[in-house]
Structure 1
Protein backbone atom coordinates (compact mmCIF):
# COMPACT_ATOMS: atom_id res chain seq x y z
CA UNK A 1 0.00 0.00 0.00
CA UNK A 2 1.44 3.42 -0.90
CA UNK A 3 3.09 5.16 1.99
CA UNK A 4 3.39 2.01 4.15
CA UNK A 5 6.74 1.45 5.73
CA UNK A 6 8.62 -1.37 3.93
CA UNK A 7 9.81 -2.65 7.33
CA UNK A 8 6.19 -2.91 8.50
CA UNK A 9 5.23 -4.91 5.40
CA UNK A 10 8.16 -7.22 6.02
CA UNK A 11 7.08 -7.78 9.62
CA UNK A 12 3.55 -8.62 8.50
CA UNK A 13 4.77 -11.13 5.92
CA UNK A 14 7.02 -12.70 8.53
CA UNK A 15 4.10 -12.94 11.00
CA UNK A 16 1.90 -14.61 8.37
CA UNK A 17 4.61 -17.15 7.59
CA UNK A 18 5.08 -17.85 11.29
CA UNK A 19 1.34 -18.37 11.75
CA UNK A 20 1.21 -20.70 8.73
CA UNK A 21 4.05 -22.79 10.14
CA UNK A 22 2.40 -22.94 13.57
CA UNK A 23 -0.97 -23.93 12.06
CA UNK A 24 0.71 -26.68 10.01
CA UNK A 25 2.19 -28.13 13.19
CA UNK A 26 -1.07 -27.76 15.14
CA UNK A 27 -3.09 -29.26 12.29
CA UNK A 28 -1.24 -32.56 12.58
CA UNK A 29 -1.63 -32.51 16.35
CA UNK A 30 -5.35 -31.82 16.08
CA UNK A 31 -5.71 -34.68 13.57
CA UNK A 32 -3.87 -37.08 15.89
CA UNK A 33 -6.00 -36.05 18.87
CA UNK A 34 -9.18 -36.50 16.81
CA UNK A 35 -8.04 -39.94 15.62
CA UNK A 36 -7.21 -41.03 19.17
CA UNK A 37 -10.61 -39.80 20.32
CA UNK A 38 -12.41 -41.72 17.56
CA UNK A 39 -10.44 -44.94 18.16
CA UNK A 40 -10.78 -44.66 21.93
CA UNK A 41 -14.49 -44.00 21.64
CA UNK A 42 -14.88 -46.98 19.32
CA UNK A 43 -13.00 -49.28 21.68
CA UNK A 44 -15.08 -48.09 24.61
CA UNK A 45 -18.27 -48.58 22.62
CA UNK A 46 -17.32 -52.12 21.55
CA UNK A 47 -15.59 -53.46 24.67
CA UNK A 48 -17.07 -51.60 27.61
CA UNK A 49 -20.40 -49.97 26.82
CA UNK A 50 -23.80 -51.68 27.04
CA UNK A 51 -24.73 -50.69 23.48
CA UNK A 52 -23.22 -53.86 21.96
CA UNK A 53 -23.80 -56.25 24.85
CA UNK A 54 -25.16 -59.79 24.59
CA UNK A 55 -28.95 -59.89 24.32
CA UNK A 56 -29.41 -63.53 23.32
CA UNK A 57 -27.98 -66.81 22.01
CA UNK A 58 -29.08 -68.28 18.68
CA UNK A 59 -28.79 -72.06 18.29
CA UNK A 60 -28.72 -73.96 15.00
CA UNK A 61 -28.36 -77.63 14.07
CA UNK A 62 -30.14 -79.27 17.01
CA UNK A 63 -32.60 -82.14 16.73
CA UNK A 64 -31.85 -84.54 19.52
CA UNK A 65 -31.08 -81.70 21.91
CA UNK A 66 -33.25 -78.65 22.47
CA UNK A 67 -32.05 -75.10 21.93
CA UNK A 68 -32.65 -74.47 25.63
CA UNK A 69 -30.29 -77.29 26.61
CA UNK A 70 -27.57 -75.82 24.42
CA UNK A 71 -28.10 -72.30 25.79
CA UNK A 72 -27.88 -73.58 29.34
CA UNK A 73 -24.66 -75.44 28.58
CA UNK A 74 -23.19 -72.46 26.71
CA UNK A 75 -23.76 -70.23 29.76
CA UNK A 76 -23.16 -67.03 27.81
CA UNK A 77 -23.36 -64.12 30.29
CA UNK A 78 -26.21 -61.82 29.32
CA UNK A 79 -25.31 -58.15 29.24
CA UNK A 80 -21.58 -58.73 28.74
CA UNK A 81 -20.09 -56.78 25.82
CA UNK A 82 -20.29 -59.08 22.80
CA UNK A 83 -16.65 -58.45 21.87
CA UNK A 84 -15.47 -59.74 25.25
CA UNK A 85 -17.29 -63.09 25.19
CA UNK A 86 -14.76 -65.96 25.27
CA UNK A 87 -15.97 -68.00 22.29
CA UNK A 88 -13.56 -70.88 22.92
CA UNK A 89 -14.88 -71.41 26.44
CA UNK A 90 -18.46 -71.29 25.22
CA UNK A 91 -17.63 -73.88 22.53
CA UNK A 92 -15.93 -76.14 25.09
CA UNK A 93 -18.97 -76.03 27.36
CA UNK A 94 -21.32 -76.91 24.50
CA UNK A 95 -19.06 -79.74 23.27
CA UNK A 96 -19.13 -81.19 26.79
CA UNK A 97 -22.73 -82.26 26.08
CA UNK A 98 -22.66 -85.97 25.27
CA UNK A 99 -24.87 -85.57 22.19
CA UNK A 100 -22.65 -82.87 20.62
CA UNK A 101 -19.97 -84.06 18.22
CA UNK A 102 -18.70 -80.54 17.52
CA UNK A 103 -19.79 -76.94 17.86
CA UNK A 104 -18.91 -73.64 16.22
CA UNK A 105 -19.46 -70.41 18.15
CA UNK A 106 -19.35 -66.95 16.61
CA UNK A 107 -20.47 -63.38 17.22
CA UNK A 108 -23.55 -62.18 15.38
CA UNK A 109 -23.50 -58.42 15.58
CA UNK A 110 -24.86 -56.34 17.11
CA UNK A 111 -25.97 -58.38 20.14
CA UNK A 112 -26.19 -62.15 19.54
CA UNK A 113 -23.94 -65.20 20.01
CA UNK A 114 -24.49 -67.88 17.36
CA UNK A 115 -23.95 -71.54 18.34
CA UNK A 116 -23.94 -74.03 15.44
CA UNK A 117 -24.11 -77.64 16.62
CA UNK A 118 -23.25 -80.91 14.91
CA UNK A 119 -24.95 -83.68 16.86
CA UNK A 120 -23.74 -87.25 17.11
CA UNK A 121 -25.49 -89.88 15.00
CA UNK A 122 -26.07 -93.35 16.42
CA UNK A 123 -24.70 -96.25 14.36
CA UNK A 124 -25.43 -98.98 16.92
CA UNK A 125 -27.15 -99.68 20.22
CA UNK A 126 -25.32 -101.04 23.25
CA UNK A 127 -26.74 -102.15 26.60
CA UNK A 128 -24.78 -100.77 29.54
CA UNK A 129 -25.98 -101.21 33.10
CA UNK A 130 -29.39 -102.34 31.92
CA UNK A 131 -29.87 -99.24 29.74
CA UNK A 132 -30.08 -99.23 25.96
CA UNK A 133 -27.86 -96.48 24.66
CA UNK A 134 -26.95 -95.14 21.24
CA UNK A 135 -23.31 -95.16 20.17
CA UNK A 136 -21.84 -93.08 17.36
CA UNK A 137 -19.09 -93.93 14.86
CA UNK A 138 -16.42 -92.81 17.36
CA UNK A 139 -17.66 -95.26 19.96
CA UNK A 140 -19.15 -92.50 22.13
CA UNK A 141 -22.29 -93.50 24.04
CA UNK A 142 -24.51 -90.44 24.07
CA UNK A 143 -28.24 -91.16 24.31
CA UNK A 144 -30.83 -93.52 25.81
CA UNK A 145 -33.46 -95.60 24.05
CA UNK A 146 -36.61 -97.08 25.53
CA UNK A 147 -36.50 -99.66 22.73
CA UNK A 148 -33.69 -100.38 20.29
CA UNK A 149 -34.41 -98.90 16.84
CA UNK A 150 -34.81 -101.83 14.43
CA UNK A 151 -32.52 -100.24 11.85
CA UNK A 152 -29.54 -100.12 14.23
CA UNK A 153 -27.46 -103.22 15.00
CA UNK A 154 -26.89 -104.07 18.64
CA UNK A 155 -23.43 -104.33 20.16
CA UNK A 156 -23.21 -106.91 22.90
CA UNK A 157 -20.37 -106.62 25.39
CA UNK A 158 -18.61 -108.94 27.78
CA UNK A 159 -16.87 -108.62 31.12
CA UNK A 160 -13.61 -107.60 29.44
CA UNK A 161 -15.12 -105.05 27.03
CA UNK A 162 -13.65 -101.60 27.52
CA UNK A 163 -14.10 -98.24 25.82
CA UNK A 164 -11.47 -99.05 23.18
CA UNK A 165 -13.31 -102.25 22.23
CA UNK A 166 -16.55 -100.29 21.95
CA UNK A 167 -14.81 -97.82 19.65
CA UNK A 168 -13.50 -100.66 17.50
CA UNK A 169 -17.00 -102.16 17.30
CA UNK A 170 -18.40 -98.77 16.25
CA UNK A 171 -15.76 -98.50 13.52
CA UNK A 172 -16.68 -101.97 12.28
CA UNK A 173 -20.39 -101.14 12.15
CA UNK A 174 -19.70 -97.85 10.35
CA UNK A 175 -17.65 -99.67 7.71
CA UNK A 176 -20.36 -102.21 6.89
CA UNK A 177 -22.11 -101.68 3.55
CA UNK A 178 -25.87 -101.29 3.81
CA UNK A 179 -26.69 -104.75 2.44
CA UNK A 180 -24.38 -106.50 4.91
CA UNK A 181 -25.50 -104.33 7.82
CA UNK A 182 -29.10 -105.33 7.11
CA UNK A 183 -28.12 -108.99 7.64
CA UNK A 184 -26.49 -108.35 11.03
CA UNK A 185 -28.54 -109.16 14.13
CA UNK A 186 -25.89 -107.96 16.55
CA UNK A 187 -22.16 -107.40 16.98
CA UNK A 188 -20.24 -109.07 19.79
CA UNK A 189 -17.28 -107.12 21.16
CA UNK A 190 -15.02 -108.71 23.76
CA UNK A 191 -11.70 -106.93 23.15
CA UNK A 192 -10.36 -104.71 20.37
CA UNK A 193 -9.21 -107.82 18.48
CA UNK A 194 -12.23 -110.01 19.20
CA UNK A 195 -15.21 -108.60 17.34
CA UNK A 196 -17.71 -110.78 15.52
CA UNK A 197 -20.95 -110.38 13.59
CA UNK A 198 -23.98 -112.51 14.39
CA UNK A 199 -26.27 -112.66 11.35
CA UNK A 200 -30.05 -112.95 11.45
CA UNK A 201 -29.87 -116.47 9.99
CA UNK A 202 -27.62 -117.70 12.82
CA UNK A 203 -24.31 -117.62 10.96
CA UNK A 204 -21.25 -116.00 12.53
CA UNK A 205 -18.52 -113.82 11.02
CA UNK A 206 -15.28 -113.54 12.98
CA UNK A 207 -14.10 -110.01 12.21
CA UNK A 208 -11.15 -109.38 14.51
CA UNK A 209 -10.29 -105.69 14.87
CA UNK A 210 -11.57 -102.75 12.84
CA UNK A 211 -8.41 -102.73 10.73
CA UNK A 212 -9.06 -103.33 6.99
CA UNK A 213 -12.82 -103.31 7.61
CA UNK A 214 -13.67 -102.26 4.06
CA UNK A 215 -11.63 -105.14 2.64
CA UNK A 216 -13.16 -107.53 5.16
CA UNK A 217 -16.65 -106.44 4.12
CA UNK A 218 -15.90 -107.24 0.47
CA UNK A 219 -14.42 -110.63 1.40
CA UNK A 220 -17.44 -111.49 3.56
CA UNK A 221 -19.85 -110.56 0.78
CA UNK A 222 -18.02 -112.88 -1.63
CA UNK A 223 -17.87 -115.72 0.92
CA UNK A 224 -21.55 -115.50 1.82
CA UNK A 225 -22.44 -115.69 -1.84
CA UNK A 226 -20.01 -118.51 -2.70
CA UNK A 227 -19.94 -120.84 0.31
CA UNK A 228 -22.54 -122.33 2.62
CA UNK A 229 -21.03 -122.37 6.09
CA UNK A 230 -21.91 -121.65 9.68
CA UNK A 231 -18.77 -119.75 10.60
CA UNK A 232 -16.74 -117.30 8.51
CA UNK A 233 -13.41 -115.89 9.67
CA UNK A 234 -12.08 -112.76 7.92
CA UNK A 235 -9.87 -111.52 10.76
CA UNK A 236 -7.03 -112.01 8.26
CA UNK A 237 -8.81 -110.93 5.08
CA UNK A 238 -6.06 -112.21 2.81
CA UNK A 239 -6.59 -115.73 4.19
CA UNK A 240 -10.28 -116.11 5.07
CA UNK A 241 -11.58 -119.43 6.38
CA UNK A 242 -14.98 -121.07 6.80
CA UNK A 243 -16.24 -123.93 8.93
CA UNK A 244 -19.44 -125.76 9.71
Structure 2
Protein backbone atom coordinates (compact mmCIF):
# COMPACT_ATOMS: atom_id res chain seq x y z
CA UNK A 1 0.00 0.00 0.00
CA UNK A 2 2.81 2.37 0.92
CA UNK A 3 4.64 1.53 -2.30
CA UNK A 4 1.52 2.27 -4.34
CA UNK A 5 1.03 5.66 -2.68
CA UNK A 6 4.67 6.51 -3.26
CA UNK A 7 4.35 5.48 -6.90
CA UNK A 8 1.30 7.71 -7.35
CA UNK A 9 3.08 10.64 -5.71
CA UNK A 10 6.04 10.11 -8.02
CA UNK A 11 3.74 10.08 -11.05
CA UNK A 12 2.10 13.33 -9.94
CA UNK A 13 5.52 14.95 -9.51
CA UNK A 14 6.54 13.68 -12.93
CA UNK A 15 3.41 15.15 -14.53
CA UNK A 16 4.01 18.50 -12.80
CA UNK A 17 7.61 18.58 -13.98
CA UNK A 18 6.54 17.63 -17.47
CA UNK A 19 3.92 20.42 -17.56
CA UNK A 20 6.51 22.84 -16.21
CA UNK A 21 9.00 21.72 -18.86
CA UNK A 22 6.45 22.19 -21.64
CA UNK A 23 5.48 25.60 -20.27
CA UNK A 24 9.12 26.69 -20.15
CA UNK A 25 9.67 25.38 -23.68
CA UNK A 26 6.66 27.32 -24.99
CA UNK A 27 7.85 30.48 -23.22
CA UNK A 28 11.32 30.07 -24.69
CA UNK A 29 9.88 29.55 -28.18
CA UNK A 30 7.56 32.57 -27.85
CA UNK A 31 10.44 34.67 -26.57
CA UNK A 32 12.67 33.52 -29.42
CA UNK A 33 10.00 34.28 -32.01
CA UNK A 34 9.36 37.70 -30.45
CA UNK A 35 13.06 38.49 -30.54
CA UNK A 36 13.33 37.33 -34.15
CA UNK A 37 10.32 39.42 -35.19
CA UNK A 38 10.83 42.59 -33.16
CA UNK A 39 14.56 42.91 -32.48
CA UNK A 40 16.61 40.77 -34.86
CA UNK A 41 17.56 41.74 -38.43
CA UNK A 42 15.57 38.81 -39.84
CA UNK A 43 12.59 41.09 -40.65
CA UNK A 44 14.46 44.39 -40.69
CA UNK A 45 13.48 47.05 -43.21
CA UNK A 46 16.00 47.54 -46.01
CA UNK A 47 16.34 50.93 -47.66
CA UNK A 48 16.80 49.27 -51.06
CA UNK A 49 13.39 47.63 -50.67
CA UNK A 50 11.51 50.86 -49.90
CA UNK A 51 9.44 52.19 -52.84
CA UNK A 52 7.68 55.55 -53.16
CA UNK A 53 5.00 55.55 -55.86
CA UNK A 54 2.39 57.97 -57.18
CA UNK A 55 4.04 61.17 -55.96
CA UNK A 56 3.48 63.26 -59.10
CA UNK A 57 5.55 66.19 -60.28
CA UNK A 58 4.63 68.75 -57.60
CA UNK A 59 5.52 66.62 -54.57
CA UNK A 60 8.98 66.85 -53.04
CA UNK A 61 9.69 63.17 -53.63
CA UNK A 62 13.19 63.41 -52.17
CA UNK A 63 11.73 64.55 -48.83
CA UNK A 64 9.24 61.66 -48.80
CA UNK A 65 12.08 59.25 -49.61
CA UNK A 66 14.24 60.76 -46.87
CA UNK A 67 11.53 60.17 -44.28
CA UNK A 68 10.94 56.63 -45.56
CA UNK A 69 14.69 55.90 -45.40
CA UNK A 70 14.62 56.43 -41.64
CA UNK A 71 12.92 53.04 -41.41
CA UNK A 72 16.14 51.35 -42.58
CA UNK A 73 17.13 48.64 -40.12
CA UNK A 74 13.92 48.78 -38.09
CA UNK A 75 12.11 45.41 -37.92
CA UNK A 76 8.86 45.63 -39.89
CA UNK A 77 6.61 44.44 -37.02
CA UNK A 78 8.01 47.22 -34.81
CA UNK A 79 7.93 49.96 -37.44
CA UNK A 80 5.75 52.95 -36.50
CA UNK A 81 4.03 53.55 -39.83
CA UNK A 82 1.58 56.02 -38.25
CA UNK A 83 4.43 58.36 -37.31
CA UNK A 84 6.01 58.04 -40.75
CA UNK A 85 2.70 58.81 -42.46
CA UNK A 86 2.05 61.85 -40.26
CA UNK A 87 5.40 63.35 -41.17
CA UNK A 88 4.93 62.61 -44.88
CA UNK A 89 1.57 64.40 -44.85
CA UNK A 90 3.46 67.58 -43.91
CA UNK A 91 5.42 67.48 -47.18
CA UNK A 92 4.10 70.11 -49.59
CA UNK A 93 1.90 68.71 -52.32
CA UNK A 94 0.99 65.52 -50.43
CA UNK A 95 -2.73 64.94 -49.91
CA UNK A 96 -2.66 61.41 -48.52
CA UNK A 97 -0.21 58.59 -47.84
CA UNK A 98 -0.68 54.84 -47.46
CA UNK A 99 2.24 52.76 -46.16
CA UNK A 100 2.17 49.01 -46.80
CA UNK A 101 4.65 46.53 -45.35
CA UNK A 102 6.14 44.29 -48.05
CA UNK A 103 7.43 41.28 -46.15
CA UNK A 104 10.08 40.39 -45.31
CA UNK A 105 12.09 43.61 -45.75
CA UNK A 106 10.22 46.16 -47.85
CA UNK A 107 7.83 49.08 -47.68
CA UNK A 108 5.61 50.59 -50.36
CA UNK A 109 4.70 54.23 -49.80
CA UNK A 110 1.73 55.21 -51.97
CA UNK A 111 1.43 58.99 -52.22
CA UNK A 112 -1.76 60.72 -53.33
CA UNK A 113 -0.67 64.16 -54.55
CA UNK A 114 -2.71 67.31 -54.35
CA UNK A 115 -3.79 68.20 -57.88
CA UNK A 116 -3.81 71.92 -58.72
CA UNK A 117 -7.11 73.10 -60.16
CA UNK A 118 -6.49 76.85 -60.08
CA UNK A 119 -3.61 79.23 -60.79
CA UNK A 120 -4.12 82.44 -58.82
CA UNK A 121 -1.98 85.43 -59.90
CA UNK A 122 0.25 86.62 -57.08
CA UNK A 123 2.52 89.54 -58.01
CA UNK A 124 4.67 88.08 -60.83
CA UNK A 125 3.90 84.47 -59.95
CA UNK A 126 1.03 82.03 -59.65
CA UNK A 127 -0.14 80.20 -56.56
CA UNK A 128 -1.37 76.75 -57.54
CA UNK A 129 -4.31 75.66 -55.38
CA UNK A 130 -6.19 72.38 -55.10
CA UNK A 131 -9.95 72.05 -54.51
CA UNK A 132 -9.40 72.40 -50.74
CA UNK A 133 -7.69 75.75 -51.22
CA UNK A 134 -4.33 74.31 -50.20
CA UNK A 135 -1.33 75.86 -51.92
CA UNK A 136 0.35 73.09 -53.88
CA UNK A 137 3.18 75.15 -55.34
CA UNK A 138 4.22 78.62 -56.49
CA UNK A 139 5.34 78.94 -60.11
CA UNK A 140 6.30 81.68 -62.53
CA UNK A 141 4.01 80.41 -65.30
CA UNK A 142 0.57 78.85 -65.08
CA UNK A 143 0.83 75.18 -66.10
CA UNK A 144 -1.02 73.98 -69.15
CA UNK A 145 -4.44 72.69 -68.23
CA UNK A 146 -4.72 74.71 -65.00
CA UNK A 147 -7.10 77.68 -65.40
CA UNK A 148 -6.04 81.14 -64.30
CA UNK A 149 -8.41 82.40 -61.61
CA UNK A 150 -9.13 86.09 -61.12
CA UNK A 151 -10.76 86.97 -57.79
CA UNK A 152 -10.63 89.94 -55.39
CA UNK A 153 -7.35 89.97 -53.47
CA UNK A 154 -8.26 92.12 -50.48
CA UNK A 155 -6.90 89.40 -48.21
CA UNK A 156 -9.93 89.30 -45.93
CA UNK A 157 -12.81 87.91 -47.98
CA UNK A 158 -12.12 84.47 -49.45
CA UNK A 159 -15.73 83.71 -50.36
CA UNK A 160 -15.21 84.35 -54.08
CA UNK A 161 -12.17 82.07 -54.20
CA UNK A 162 -13.96 79.39 -52.17
CA UNK A 163 -16.86 79.51 -54.63
CA UNK A 164 -14.51 79.19 -57.62
CA UNK A 165 -12.75 76.18 -56.08
CA UNK A 166 -16.09 74.55 -55.27
CA UNK A 167 -17.23 75.00 -58.88
CA UNK A 168 -13.98 73.65 -60.31
CA UNK A 169 -14.17 70.67 -57.97
CA UNK A 170 -17.67 69.88 -59.23
CA UNK A 171 -16.76 69.81 -62.92
CA UNK A 172 -16.34 66.44 -64.64
CA UNK A 173 -12.86 65.81 -66.01
CA UNK A 174 -13.84 66.33 -69.65
CA UNK A 175 -15.40 69.74 -68.96
CA UNK A 176 -12.67 70.76 -66.53
CA UNK A 177 -10.04 70.19 -69.22
CA UNK A 178 -11.76 72.81 -71.40
CA UNK A 179 -11.71 75.60 -68.79
CA UNK A 180 -8.93 78.12 -69.45
CA UNK A 181 -9.87 80.90 -67.03
CA UNK A 182 -12.26 81.69 -64.20
CA UNK A 183 -13.43 85.03 -62.85
CA UNK A 184 -15.51 85.89 -59.81
CA UNK A 185 -16.11 89.33 -58.32
CA UNK A 186 -18.23 87.73 -55.59
CA UNK A 187 -19.20 84.23 -54.52
CA UNK A 188 -22.35 84.52 -56.66
CA UNK A 189 -20.75 85.68 -59.92
CA UNK A 190 -18.47 82.84 -61.03
CA UNK A 191 -17.77 82.85 -64.79
CA UNK A 192 -15.80 80.29 -66.79
CA UNK A 193 -13.96 80.81 -70.06
CA UNK A 194 -13.69 77.72 -72.25
CA UNK A 195 -11.29 76.80 -75.03
CA UNK A 196 -12.47 78.61 -78.14
CA UNK A 197 -13.59 81.65 -76.16
CA UNK A 198 -17.11 80.67 -75.06
CA UNK A 199 -18.11 82.01 -71.64
CA UNK A 200 -20.21 80.24 -69.03
CA UNK A 201 -22.06 82.37 -66.50
CA UNK A 202 -22.16 79.97 -63.57
CA UNK A 203 -23.31 82.16 -60.72
CA UNK A 204 -22.83 80.60 -57.28
CA UNK A 205 -21.51 77.13 -56.50
CA UNK A 206 -25.01 75.94 -55.59
CA UNK A 207 -26.66 73.33 -57.84
CA UNK A 208 -23.36 72.76 -59.66
CA UNK A 209 -24.26 69.18 -60.58
CA UNK A 210 -27.46 70.37 -62.25
CA UNK A 211 -25.63 73.23 -63.96
CA UNK A 212 -23.13 70.74 -65.41
CA UNK A 213 -25.94 68.67 -66.93
CA UNK A 214 -27.68 71.76 -68.33
CA UNK A 215 -24.45 73.11 -69.82
CA UNK A 216 -23.62 69.78 -71.44
CA UNK A 217 -27.12 69.63 -72.94
CA UNK A 218 -26.84 73.18 -74.30
CA UNK A 219 -23.46 72.50 -75.85
CA UNK A 220 -24.74 69.31 -77.45
CA UNK A 221 -27.98 70.76 -78.87
CA UNK A 222 -27.80 71.93 -82.49
CA UNK A 223 -29.70 75.14 -81.75
CA UNK A 224 -27.41 76.32 -78.93
CA UNK A 225 -24.04 74.62 -79.31
CA UNK A 226 -22.49 77.56 -81.22
CA UNK A 227 -23.48 80.16 -78.61
CA UNK A 228 -20.83 82.50 -77.25
CA UNK A 229 -22.38 82.74 -73.80
CA UNK A 230 -24.05 79.99 -71.77
CA UNK A 231 -25.85 81.36 -68.72
CA UNK A 232 -26.65 78.52 -66.32
CA UNK A 233 -26.74 80.65 -63.17
CA UNK A 234 -30.45 79.78 -62.98
CA UNK A 235 -30.20 76.19 -64.29
CA UNK A 236 -33.95 75.70 -64.68
CA UNK A 237 -34.08 78.79 -66.95
CA UNK A 238 -30.81 78.75 -68.91
CA UNK A 239 -30.02 81.46 -71.44
CA UNK A 240 -27.68 81.44 -74.44
CA UNK A 241 -26.56 84.23 -76.73
TM range (shorter): 0.7 to 0.9
- 1:124 is matched with which residue? 118
- Could you tell me which runs of 5 or more consecutive residues in structure 1 were left unpaired when the two chains were aligned: 1-9
Poorly superposed stretches of 4+, deviation over 6 Å = none
- Structure showing greater radius of gyration is 1
Q: For the residues of structure 2 that align with 1:189 and 1:174, how far apart are their CA atoms?
A: 15
- 2:136 is matched with which residue? 142
- 1:46 is matched with which residue? 37
Q: For the residues of structure 1 that align with 2:136 and 2:146, how far apart are their CA atoms?
A: 15
Q: Does structure 1 residue 216 correspond to structure 2 residue 215?
A: no
Between 109-118 and 231-240, the greater mean CA deviation after superposition: 231-240
Q: 1:58 offset after TM fit, Å?
A: 2.5
Question: Mapping of 1:221-240 within 5 angstroms?
Answer: 221-223=216-218, 226=223, 232-240=230-238
Q: Does structure 1 residue 151 correspond to structure 2 residue 149?
A: no
Q: 1:207 offset after TM fit, Å?
A: 1.6
Q: CA 1:47–1:27 in structure 2 vs 1: closer, same or farther (change >3 Å)?
A: same
- 2:12 is matched with which residue? 21
Q: 1:174 offset after TM fit, Å?
A: 3.8
Superimposed CA distance per residue, residues 61-105 of structure 1 (whole angstroms, 9 cap, x where no aligned partner): 233246533122446344334333221111111122222221111
Q: Does structure 1 residue 104 correspond to structure 2 residue 95?
A: no
**Which of these residues, 56, 67, 70, is aligned with residue 63 of structure 1?**
56
Superposition RMSD in Å? 3.3
Q: CA 1:97–1:182 in structure 2 vs 1: closer, same or farther (change >3 Å)?
A: closer
Q: For the residues of structure 1 that align with 2:78 and 2:176, how far apart are their CA atoms?
A: 49
Superimposed CA distance per residue, residues 115-157 of structure 1 (whole angstroms, 9 cap, x where no aligned partner): 1112223333332343224333433331344433333322222
On the 8 A contact 1:160/1:190 being kept in 2, the answer is no
Give the TM-score normalised by the residue count of structure 1: 0.75
